[in-house]
Amino acid sequence: MKILVVGSGGREDTLCWKLKKEKNQIVCASGNGGTARWGENINIRPTDIEKLSDFVKENGIELTVVGPEAPLVEGIVNRFEEKSFRIFGPSKEAAQLEASKVFAKEFMRKNGIPTAGFEIFNSEEKALKYILNKKFPIVIKADGLCGGKGVSICENLKAAQEAIYSLMTKKIFGRQGERIVIEDCLFGEEVSYLAFVDGEDFLPLVSSQDHKAIFDEDKGPNTGGMGAYSPVSLMTEELSERIKKDILKKTINGLLNLRIRFKGILYLGLMLTEDGPMVLEFNVRFGDPEAQAIIPRLTSNLLELMMEAIDGNLSKVRLEWDKRPVLSVVLASAGYPENPVSGKEIFGLEETECLNDILVFHSGTEKKDGRFWTKGGRVLSVTGYGNDIKEAKTRVYSAIFNVQFEGMQFRNDIGEKEIRRIKDGELSIL
């Protein structure tokens, strides 16, 4: 099948890799230096919906797979469906779950979906007054899309005041911060829980855990994600059933009550608290870097899963997985996340990709004159299998030392909490 993958990150490189393994013809818009390994890159921005539509029509594309959130929020699925083009992803209406924190929180409150207590503000004065009587820490979130960087965990009043000022006066995220959500801080372990959804039925994927902070021990500013692993031992079968019943089904039914049929990947960012799993955020697509840890474990046919989700037939499908854990570590540019440096040559890729049970997925790269160069914040994801998570971690970090580019930074502790948890026998938080 001739497939167009929309996006340019590590998630999209992973999708292209898997779909190419399934003998499909791949085109990526706009792609990166790595996606060109699996097919053709075309110079069309992911949010240029009309140009993408024209390309699909003129080039006989049989399926479009949308990676990032921005084109979904802007309505690429609605536009393609108007033209009877097959496309994998949720509608603009369904994408509100990710596009607006305000919509998501009010939706959860209305549908009895467990989440942190919160209030919504469009006035800086009222927000500043509200936090005077709050117990810290608190969480302050911009309403709109901010590339994973619109959330501040504030340990004290001064930090909260600065976060509100940055969003609502300095407008560091523009209109995305005109409304804010102030919510109670939840404590526990974060887990990413993704599922294929066909409008009514769903198929959960294996669990994973992202690492958002730039530095070891979850210190420093949040990023788009510095690494992930799968599975998470805390995600027991009992807990998974509870999430399906209390969160996933309620979300899908709540959307149906709004006459919204969600088709695509629904991502639940969860906090496993002593009171049970609670939703931190919704995403409406594969996570990045979670995709780099989950998709390599998928032995089922990805194309078939996407087509059955589009056609409303997921009840006919079974998911099969490689039992081995997978761990993925992001290599980022100097200055990331605030001011990433680009244009540095990358060395050692060929040697790294030849290693057993190691995969290298590209994010911020470009290829010029046969050589790879950095182009963006997150540059590569070095991903590996292991018979257990400890072996996967050892294999990946050993492989990383083959790769070099000026200013390269990465976390050294991806998966370390899981290794300690298994060693200490702490396999349940509830």
Residue 365's pLDDT is what?
Answer: 98
CA distances 206 to 16, 77, 127, 258, 291, Å, are 20, 26, 39, 29, 11
Mean pLDDT of 187-205: 97
CATH 3.30.470.20 domain locations along the chain: 189-316
| Angstrom distances, CA of residue 41 to CA of 13, 26, 30, 103, 364 | 11, 9, 6, 35, 14
Does residue 429 carry a pLDDT above 60?
no
| Residue 76 CB contacts under 8 Å (≥ 6 apart), including other chains | 6, 49, 52, 64, 66, 87, 89
* Residue 24 CA, distance from chain mean position: 24
Residue 322's alpha-carbon distances to 142, 285, 298, in angstroms, are 38, 22, 6
107 Cβ contact partners less than 8 Å away, ≥ 6 residues apart = 97, 113, 254
Pinpoint the alpha helices (H) of 22-100. 49-59, 69-73, 76-82, 96-99
CATH topology for 189-316 is D-amino Acid Aminotransferase; Chain A, domain 1 (3.30.470)
Question: 61-103 pLDDT, tens per residue?
Answer: 999 999 999 999 999 999 999 999 999 999 999 999 999 999 9
> Which bin fits 102, alpha (ψ -120 to 50), beta or left (φ > 0)?
alpha
What number is the average pLDDT over the span 310-329? 96
Instruction: Report CA torsion sign: 418, 422, 424, 429.
Output: positive
Q: Inform me whether the pLDDT recorded for 147 exceeds 80.
A: no
Q: Give the residue from 308, 85, 287, 313 showing the smallest Cα distance to 205.
A: 287
Percent of the chain with pLDDT over 70: 99
Q: Provide CB contacts within 8 A for 24, sequence distance 6+.
A: 1, 2, 3, 303
Question: Which of the listed CATH numbers 3.40.50.20, 3.30.110.40, 1.10.3720.10, 1.10.260.40 matches domain 2-92?
Answer: 3.40.50.20
d(CA 59, CA 1): 12
| Model confidence band, residue 425 (pLDDT cutoffs 50, 70, 90) | confident
Continuous segment of H or E residues that includes residue 398: helix 389-400
How are strands ordered across the β-sheet holding 263-273?
Answer: 202-204, 189-198, 263-273, 276-283
Give the confidence band of 215 by pLDDT, cuts at 50, 70, 90: very high
Contacts of 400 (CB under 8 A, 6+ apart): 329, 331, 352, 382, 410
CB 285 within 8 A of CB 272: no
- The rounded mean pLDDT for the chain is 96
The pLDDT of residue 222 is above 90: no
Class of domain 326-424: alpha beta
Amino acid making up residue 198: D
pLDDT at 268: 98
At 111, phi and psi to the nearest 5? -105, 10
In the chain, residues under CATH classification 3.40.50.20 are 2-92
Q: Give the C-alpha separation, 395 to 382, whole Å.
A: 10
At 427, the pLDDT band (50, 70, 90 cuts) reads low
- How high is the pLDDT of residue 358? 98
Distance CA 30, CA 218 (A): 32
Q: CA 130 from chain center: how many Å?
A: 32
Mean pLDDT of 172-193: 95
User: Of residues 13 and 429, which shows the higher confidence score?
Assistant: 13
Look at the domain 123-178 and name its fold.
Dna Ligase; domain 1 (3.30.1490)
- Which structure tokens are listed for 360? 């290298």
List the beta strands (DSSP E) in 105-216: 118-121, 138-142, 151-154, 180-184, 189-198, 202-204, 209-210, 213-215
Mean pLDDT, residues 217-227 taken together = 93
Residue span(s) of the chain under CATH 3.90.600.10 come to 326-424
Measured distance CA(236)–CA(349) in Å, rounded: 37
Check whether 114 has a pLDDT greater than 90: yes
pLDDT for 210 equals 96
Quick one: DSSP state of residue 361?
E
pTM of the model: 0.95
